[in-house]
Chains A and B, each alone.
Chain A
Amino acid sequence: MLKRVAVPPGLWLMLSLVLVAVAAPWFAPYDPNATLDIIALKNQAPSLDHPFGTDPYSRDVLSRVLHGARVSLGFAFATVILALGAGTLYGSAMAFASPFMGTVLRRLLDVAFSVPRLLVLLAVAGVAGPLDVRLLVVLMAGTGWFATARLVHDEITALRTREFVLAARASGVPATRLVVRHLLPHLGPLLMTAASFSMAGTIMLEAGLSYLGLGIQPPTASWGNIIRDGAGLIQTHWWLTVFPVLATVIPIMTCNAAGDALRDRFAPPQFAGSAIPSPSNPPRGRIPSLFRQ
Chain B
Amino acid sequence: MMLKKLLFGALGLALCGVALAAEWNLQPAASKIAADIHWVHEMVMVLVLVLFVGVFGFMFYSCYAHRKSVGHKADQFHENTTVEVLWSVIPAIILVLIAWPVTKVVIAQKDTSHPDLTIKATGIQWKWAYDYLNGEGEGISFLSTMTTPRAQIEGREAKGENYLLEVDNEVVVPVGKKVRVLTTAADVIHSWWIPAFGAKQDAIPGFIRDIWFRAETPGVYRGQCTELCGKDHGFMPIVVRVVSQEAYTKWVGEKRALLAKAADDETKTFTLAELKSRGEKVYAANCVACHQASGKGLPPTFPALDGSKVVTGAQAAQIDVVLNGVTKNGAPTAMVAFGKQLSNVEIAAVITFTRNNWGNSTGEAVQPADIKARRK
Q: Do chains A and B stick together as partners? A: no
